[in-house]
């Protein structure tokens, strides 16, 4: 069983994917972490996230340990991740890892759930279950603000909203594998739903497909 979950930042994909994984005994891969780890390594080495050759080399040399690095969830790393993810060489370097994970999920599980931006369109186009989880930019910015403040980070709503819109624009307009809804994905707008309601709706869809 493969479940593909795509959508913009802070739409609730991660929470939903983790719950799906637990519910169906699936391995979970947060593919955003691959781009975040690449972006962070570029920044840590004093590089520019838009430097095509540098970022591609970093992606090609990424190790499993890099996915466990501290500080992958910061806003700066999120922006760097969004920048490196627009580089075709970076995407190519990270694609096989994601496909291998889906084909042979670790840990004696029944399959895999992957979340990201291009899982249903590029990484696993044959996945039997595809969800596109979204919410208005304002609602997503509120959620991200709460998360940042909860972690003790300093943040203000206007800045978080602005960053969110900038990242949405870059992720949707890039030429290689932009954020878009797969033709056979179920669209789930969580703007007016809490996590519980969103999960219930998603579960109903998954069950109808399996
Ligand atoms: O989901 P996230 O916020 O952790 O992702 C960080 C960035 O990585 C996002 O802005 C775009 C990129 N990304 C991508 O291009 N493709 C994916 N499958 C996952 C993430």
Residue 75 inside a domain? The answer is: yes
Of 142, 208, 180, whose CA–CA distance to 200 is shortest? Answer: 208
Alpha carbon distance 129, 122 (integer Å): 14
Question: Whose alpha carbon is nearest atom 12 of ligand 1?
Answer: 82
Residue 203 inside a domain? The answer is: no
Query: How many structural domains comprise the chain?
Result: 1
* pLDDT tens digit at each of 210 positions of the chain: 999 999 999 999 999 999 999 999 999 999 999 999 999 999 999 999 999 999 999 999 999 899 999 999 988 999 999 999 999 999 999 999 999 999 999 988 999 999 999 999 999 999 999 999 999 999 999 999 999 999 898 999 999 999 999 999 999 999 999 999 999 999 999 999 999 999 999 999 999 998
Residue 208 inside a domain? The answer is: no
Question: Cβ atoms within 10 A of the Cβ of 33, count?
Answer: 19
Residue 36 inside a domain? The answer is: yes
Question: Whose alpha carbon is nearest atom 4 of ligand 1?
Answer: 32
CB 15 within 8 A of CB 39: no
Alpha carbon distance 10, 53 (integer Å): 29
| CATH number of the domain within which 83 lies | 3.40.50.300
Ligand 1 centroid vs 116 CA: distance in angstroms?
A: 6
85 lines ligand 1 (CB under 6 A): yes
Of ligand 1's listed atoms, the one at least distance from the Cα of 85 is: 15
CB 76 within 8 A of CB 31: no
Domain boundaries, position 49: 2-195
Ligand 1 centroid vs 137 CA: distance in angstroms?
A: 16
């Amino acid at each position: 069983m493969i479940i593909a979950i795509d959508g913009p930042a802070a739409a609730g994909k991660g929470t939903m994917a983790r719950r799906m994984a637990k519910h169906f005994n699936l391995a979970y891969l947060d593919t955003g972490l691959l781009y975040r780890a690449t972006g962070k390594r570029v920044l840590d080495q004093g590089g520019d996230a838009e430097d095509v050759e540098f970022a591609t080399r970093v992606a090609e040399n990424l190790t499993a340990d890099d996915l466990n690095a501290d500080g992958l969830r910061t806003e700066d790393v999120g922006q760097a991740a969004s920048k490196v993810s627009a580089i075709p060489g970076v995407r190519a370097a990270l694609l096989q890892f994601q496909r291998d994970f889906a084909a042979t999920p670790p840990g004696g599980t029944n399959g895999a759930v992957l979340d990201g931006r291009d899982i249903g369109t590029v990484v696993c186009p044959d996945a039997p279950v595809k969800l596109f989880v979204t919410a208005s930019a304002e609602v997503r910015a509120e959620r991200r603000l709460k998360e940042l403040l909860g972690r003790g980070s300093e943040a203000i709503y206007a800045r978080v909203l602005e960053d969110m819109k900038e990242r949405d624009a870059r992720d949707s307009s890039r030429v290689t594998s932009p954020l878009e809804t797969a033709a056979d994905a179920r669209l789930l707008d969580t703007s007016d739903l809490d996590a519980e309601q969103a999960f219930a709706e998603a579960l109903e869809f998954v069950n109808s497909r399996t």
